[in-house]
Structure 1
Amino acid sequence: MGLPLNQKAGYSIGHVLNDLTASVWFSYLIVYFHQVLNFNNNLAGYLMLIGQVSDALFTPFIGYESDNTKGICGLGRRKSWHLVGTISVACSYPFVFNDCIDCSDAPDWSKFIYFAPFVVIFQFGWAATQISHLSLIPDLTPDENERVELNGLRYAFTVLSNLAVFGIFWLLFIVNGSHEDNMGSQLTSVDAIKFRNLVFIIVGMGIVFSILFLFIVREPVQHEDAQIADGYSTTIEKSTVLRNRMTWTCWLKTRQFYQIAMVYMCTRLFVNVSQIYLPLYVTETLKLPKDSVAICPLIVYVSGFFASLAMRPINSKLGRKATYIVGLVFGIGACSWIYFLNEHNAKQVYGAVVLLGLGGSTMLVTSLAMTSDLIACNVESGAFVYGAMSFTDKLSNGVAVVLIQHLHPCVACCPSCKGYYRLVLTFVPGGVAVVAFLALLTLLPSKIGVRPNKVNPMKSLVENGITASSPGDSSDSEREPLLHNRPINSQ
């Protein structure tokens, strides 16, 4: 029996607070500190680095604890960490996008010290919510197609969240600014009120969705040994299940773990770097009106939304690897188009960002589906896997942003900025897309989720004269081994 519709719907909204805050974080942190607060470029980069490194360090710890915590107040281990993350994000995030309280005229280094603790708390909460939410996917269903669907639904709400952010921000330009002011290409301190209002609105929206998620979704029971083996009729079947458990040390000895981590890291770098520097590119390189910092990202996520809706049928038809290559083609095409744009053909950027949205969405949903395939039935350590993947993502993003900010040709704005952001948006996302393709090639000879260094449960059961299969699986030779298709006992 498939996962009920209400559980799919409830799951899909559980990451909305993170999506809303991440949208503003990646799209507007640098431009906010750079143009609105007139912050030093290097310090702005370091602030992003502190956040990304904090997230990277927190994620493996949270993943391990999420796998080994019993939960609080009857919420279950995943939902308990989700609640902790929601509270942390809600209490810290508004301070990041509001000017320093009673220190607005202080030097940049003292403001940096003021903002840094709020950034760290926000990133802890963000990591707790992300890892607990992702690790629920293999807990909720053992069916690989339903897992792709949940990843697609999750990303669909990520896209909708981003659409909400950019739509609200665009309306704030209309409500809180004159037409003449909005036609300028540079954000100024006058625009600070727009960021403040935007942040308060999205945090309030996100809290509502998190509460609905906690009430709707029924988390499966804890996967203790007896519960993992529940549903297997013989002692041999149960012992086979338990022998194939994966601890965090087992994952570190698995080749596919590193291969998929590289694909996921490059995917996140592609999506996040393009999201961070797109607003600066359209205002400083193409000299478009300042409301384009909302319109262009909005187009990216509209196209990404439609791509996410097609992920389940495309993945079923083409498979993970071929679908990912389709995303790479769109993404590299967008980066190439961006390189040839200037003030004279600036309107073509709307076509380029459509490709950017299609490529980023396809790559991201498919890489998350690959991670679910890697975990397969080993949900007892699923949060660690997602935590480790996120570790590579956050650390690489932080380092990339700091390097880009350090290589910036000037401290504030200058004529050299004009060509710099074109190079950033072309060669950084484009370069990591090529690296992702090379990592994907190493996965071609193998099936994701099959671990030859572990006991093959199907082989073990057959050798012992036992035959069993899930309905509808007996004739499909491409399906995962028997263990991957067994139902997991849930409430």
Structure 2
Amino acid sequence: MEVSSQHLLSNEYTEVYRRLPLKLQLAYGVGHVLNDVCASMWFTYLLVFFHLVLQFNNWQAGFMLLVGQVADAVSTPFVGFHSDQSDNFWLCRYGRRKTWHLIGTVCVLVTFPFIFSPCIGCSGSHQWAQIFYYCVFISIFQFGWASVQISHLSLIPELTPNEHDRTKLTAIRYCFTVVSNLLVYVITWGILHISSGEESKIGPGDAPKFQHVVWTGLSLGILCSVIFHVFVKEEGALGSSDVRGTSLRTPIADILRSVEVYQVAVVYMSTRLFVNLSQVFIPLYLHETLDMAASALALIPLIMFIGSFVTSMTIEKLNRCFGRRLSYILGVLMGLAACIWIKWGSGDQFKSSQIHIIAVLIGAGGSITLVTSLGITADLIGDKTSSGAFVYGIMSFTDKLANGIAVVIIQDLHKDPSNTGYYRDVLTYVCGGSALLGALAVISFLKKVRGDPLGYENVPNYNSINSDVLPVATEDIQPSLIS
């Protein structure tokens, strides 16, 4: 089948769009694995490790997570702004995005192992001295994590101008995120289940077990980061300029004045609140509310991410068929169903079987909403790829700050150890409310700024063309929502 000449001639400008090779897609996807492994440990086991293993109280554990989230939030717009500059220092000849990715990778590797270890040389010191010790490593780690995240995300609009291909890259990226989390939970479950026994609980003697998990995950992350840097060539990226060869950059002042930026930020923030808070508090809910064994603290999150992994392979087609808005709302409905079920579920049957279904619903709903919200953010950037990292920085700033504040408030309010239903209510009302807020935000703005009633522009289907080089008209390149 040939692309009609009438279609091509209907536009003043055309350009050649090359399909991204599978090798490049996979190499890009593994570029965030190191971050994913660390994020899995950070959100799922940081409070568990600091509270149950190192014996900090609830508020102190939440405070250290807040410090990390604030450091990440401050770092993201900083990294985003400087990542968008093409001439700030000589290493950018390596690639402005890849340079920041490399800097971040080094920071993560040299700090993360210290976070999940007893205080070296100060284990007998006052708790606040130990807190300062951990906060130093946490702050450097979060700067590195932000550098990797923002530089990796901002490559998506530069690698392709096509909306569907951007969604595909985001879905592939998320597939590797899920695989990374699965690996962490499999290793954690194996170590806690085999070495601790079926009914044992987490305690101070489990610190070496967490270190084994950390070093195994970091080893995989190093390998994947090497693959990313070897096979992804930033200087060959398509989409850094428009079809007339003019560099497209939106002034920062214009970005900050754009209402759509804040609307998309609410969607992204709400999505991350649902995903991250459910990941943070599910282990504590299992430990305190359901009184389950240590191995369940790895098994249930593992099931969550199996649900995420299976769902993530369908998200690109889901977005293509139903659009951004309906896809996002579907994910929200799945998450709300899980939150309501948690509120009213109880008994042995709930702990033995129903909790597994809930885990699948949370994983699938989080997968759909997260990938779709990242697609919405890529739509916001459009062809203004030279400002892409700063936009991602704004999104991440709201996400990290909101998550950190939410965690420390939730932990500070939990003052009564006898209130075993506390984390059940957190998952029901806070996580469920976050999902609902995201749905309302999507409904409120997509209809207004997008012409298509589904919130997804039609792009010609080139799948049947047997060629690696496809002509793309300028009308098929996703327009930016910021101008």
TM-score by length of 1: 0.86
Tell me if structure 2 keeps the 8 A contact 1:299–1:353: yes
- Note if contact 1:375-1:449 (Cα within 8 Å) is conserved in structure 2: no
| Structure 2 CA distance for aligned equivalents of residues 99 and 341 of structure 1 | 37
Residue 395 in structure 1 maps to residue 410 in structure 2: no
Q: Deviations over 1:16-59 (max 9, x none)?
A: 00000000000000011111111121111110010000000010
- Aligned-partner residue type, residue 207 of structure 1: I
RMSD: 2.1
Give 1:444 deviation, angstroms. Answer: 3.3
In structure 2, distance between residues paired with 1:358 and 1:483: 29
Matches within 5 A, 1:19-34: 19-34=36-51
Aligned to 1:432: 434
After superposition, what is the alpha-carbon deviation per residue over 1:146-205, rounded to whole angstroms, capped at 9, x for unaligned? 10000000000000000000001111124433x2xx413x31012111101111111121
| Contact 2:106 2:144 survives alignment (8 Å) | yes
Q: Following superposition, which runs of at least 4 residues in structure 1 exceed 4 angstroms of deviation? A: 221-224, 479-484
Q: Does 1:41 align with 2:44?
A: no
Q: Secondary structure at the match of 1:169?
A: helix
Report the alpha carbon displacement of residue 449 of structure 1 after superposing the two structures with TM.
Answer: 10
Structure 2 counterpart of 1:377: 383
Counterpart residue type for residue 49 of structure 1 = L
How is 1:266-345 mapped onto 2 (pairs within 5 angstroms)? 266-344=270-348, 345=350
The separation in 1 between residues aligned to 2:392 and 2:189, in whole angstroms, is: 34
Contact 2:37 2:181 survives alignment (8 Å): yes
The residue type paired with residue 357 of structure 2 is: G
User: Does residue 11 of structure 2 align to residue 7 of structure 1?
Assistant: no
Summarize the Cα distance change of 1:482–1:39 in structure 2 as closer, same or farther, 3 Å threshold. closer
8 Å CA contact 2:381, 2:480 repeated in 1? no
Q: Distance in 2 between matches of 1:370 and 1:220?
A: 25
Stretch moving more, 401-410 or 373-382: 401-410
**Paired residue for 1:228, among 241, 247, 266?**
241
Residue 306 of structure 1 aligns with an amino acid whose one-letter code is: V
Residue 343 (structure 1) shift: 4.2
Alignment of 1:16 with 2:29, yes or no, is no
Do 2:160 and 2:237's aligned partners in 1 also have CA atoms closer than 8 Å? no
Aligned-pair identity (%): 44
Distance 1:406 1:320, change over 3 A: same
Match of 2:11 in 1: none
Kindly state the Cα deviation for residue 212 of structure 1 after the two structures are TM-superposed: 0.9
CA contact (8 A) 2:100 2:147 kept: yes
TM-score by length of 2: 0.88
The 1:280–1:72 alpha-carbon spacing in structure 2 relative to 1, beyond 3 Å, is: same
Three-state SS of the structure 2 residue aligned to 1:15 is helix
Instruction: Work out whether 1:422 is the aligned partner of 2:437.
Output: no
Conserved? CA contact 2:189–2:299, under 8 Å: yes
d(CA) in 1 for partners of 2:441, 2:342: 25
Consecutive unaligned residues in structure 1, runs of 5 or more: 233-237, 451-469, 485-491
| Partner of residue 58, structure 1 | 75
Aligned mates of 1:82, 1:393 — CA distance in 2: 20
Map of 2:102 onto structure 1? 83
Aligned to 1:463: none
AA aligned to 1:438 is L
Judge conservation of contact 2:383–2:477 (CA < 8 Å) in 1: no
What number of residue pairs does the alignment pair up? 443
Question: How far did residue 437 of structure 1 move?
Answer: 1.6
1:37–1:421 CA distance, 2 compared to 1 (3 A): same
